[in-house]
Amino acid sequence: MNSLYILLGMVGPWQVAVIVVLVLLLFGGKKIPELMKGLGGGIKEFKKATQEDDKEETKKVDDKK
């Protein structure tokens, strides 16, 4: 838990609340689910690409043996 505070620079509950309010004001309540869906899709594609890269790498190593 301490490493999380160090990573976030000691962000407290008031700072998080201000950030949430600013995001709601900037994007609106209807746009946020679309943004999160896009973010989730991007993360899924990134994981898929890294797994495929690992498979190709292990295949190359096995072919050399």
pLDDT over 60 at 1, yes or no: no
Q: What is the pLDDT of residue 43?
A: 93
pLDDT 10s digits, 2-52: 666 666 667 778 888 888 888 888 888 888 888 889 999 999 999 998 888
Q: What share of the chain is helix, strand, coil (3-state, %, to 5)?
A: 85, 0, 15
Global model pTM greater than 0.85: no
Output 58 or 14, whichever has higher pLDDT.
14
Task: Please give the Cα distance from 63 to 19 (Å, whole number).
Answer: 51
Task: Please give the Cα distance from 30 to 42 (Å, whole number).
Answer: 20
Q: Which two tokens stand for residue 39?
A: 């973010």
Task: Please give the Cα distance from 45 to 36 (Å, whole number).
Answer: 14
Contacts of 23 (CB under 8 A, 6+ apart): 32
